[in-house]
């Protein structure tokens, strides 16, 4: 089934989103699944990671400062509460009341924020490679902040040159070449020149500020992570899984080692999770 792309207007911004399997919002046999992308990505990322199955209403949106969603808006609003509120505004626009909230990296933080702040609207939670806990400025995202500073200070083209010559890039090339390539791609991303504040503001925030709040998440939760990912520490996934009462942590192959195996395993586990919530 092909996806349908559209936009809606919210707080002076045109938010672009895609969906598959849309039907009657009141049909409880159809499971609504909002799946959000990572920092610097767009809606294509979750749409590619989940292999659509009949009976699911899949929704993915370009968060503010990402993809085709324009304009950037107030940079001070580039934070998790705002991104979760934007996702909820989309669900209201679509007439969707109850969802499985899912996300990748930054998107996992958005999904967790939704589950904590809108518990009556969330029936399941999916966290893929979480990169935040409850503290702002996690050290695993320091490299992303450095990229944001280079783009801010020099622009994407010259900033890229500085990054390539930096000790950070040279070290990552040796220790984690996939991470080095992912960071380099931020300079070439179409929104790099105008949306660089996202690389500074989101790492300085957190999905929520109180780890004890995770114990109040009262829905089935699936967490996917792996040990070979500097930006998404497996320990973060373990911490969340230990705190969320009905959480299941599954290790999947690393994108850095085998991207096809990562996608295949993620699709299998996400599909099984959604199927378990459909009954």
Q: What confidence tens digit (pLDDT) does each residue in 216-240 have?
A: 999 999 999 999 999 999 999 999 9
Count Cβ atoms below 10 Å from residue 130 Cβ, excluding itself. Answer: 27
**pLDDT per residue over 164-189, tens digit each?**
999 999 999 999 999 999 999 999 99
**pLDDT per residue over 1-27, tens digit each?**
567 889 999 999 999 999 998 765 555
d(CA 279, CA 275): 7
Confidence (pTM): 0.96
Question: Rounded to 5 degrees, what angle do the CA atoms 232, 237, 243 make?
Answer: 150
**pLDDT per residue over 258-272, tens digit each?**
999 999 999 999 999
The length of the chain is 279
With a cut of 70, say whether residue 146 has pLDDT above it.
Answer: yes
Contact status, residue 184 vs residue 169, Cβ threshold 8 Å: yes
Coil/strand/helix, residue 43 = coil
Residue 227 gets which letter from DSSP?
S
d(CA 132, CA 139): 10
- pLDDT score for 24: 55
Instruction: Give the largest CA-CA distance in the chain.
Output: 55
Helix (H) or strand (E) holding 19: strand 13-20
Q: Which residue, 60, 119, 52, 111, is CA-closest to 84?
A: 111
């Amino acid at each position: 089934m092909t996806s349908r792309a559209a936009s809606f207007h919210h707080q002076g911004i045109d938010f672009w989103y895609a969906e598959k399997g849309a039907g009657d919002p009141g049909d409880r046999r159809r499971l609504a699944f909002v799946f959000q992308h990572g920092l610097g990505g767009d809606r294509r990322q979750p749409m590619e990671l989940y292999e659509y199955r009949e009976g699911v209403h899949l929704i993915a949106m370009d968060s503010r400062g990402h993809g085709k969603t324009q304009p950037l808006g107030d940079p001070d609003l580039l934070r998790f509460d705002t991104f979760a509120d934007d996702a909820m505004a989309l669900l209201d626009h679509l007439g969707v009341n109850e969802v499985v909230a899912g996300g990748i990296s930054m998107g996992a933080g958005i999904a967790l924020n939704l589950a904590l702040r809108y518990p009556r609207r969330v029936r399941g939670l999916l966290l893929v490679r979480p990169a935040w806990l409850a503290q702002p400025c996690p050290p695993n995202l320091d490299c992303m902040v450095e990229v944001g500073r280079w783009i801010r200070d020099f622009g994407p083209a010259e900033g890229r040159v500085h990054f390539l010559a930096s000790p950070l890039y040279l070290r990552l090339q040796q220790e984690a070449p996939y991470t080095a390539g992912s960071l380099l791609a931020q300079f070439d991303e179409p929104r790099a020149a105008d949306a660089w504040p996202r690389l500074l503001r989101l790492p300085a925030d957190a999905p929520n500020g109180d780890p004890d709040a995770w114990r109040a998440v009262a829905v089935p939760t699936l967490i996917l992570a792996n040990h070979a990912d500097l930006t998404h520490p497996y320990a973060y996934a373990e911490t969340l899984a230990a705190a969320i009462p009905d959480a299941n942590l599954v290790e999947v192959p690393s994108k850095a080692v085998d991207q096809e195996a990562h996608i295949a395993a993620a699709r299998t586990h996400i599909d099984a999770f959604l199927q378990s919530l459909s009954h």
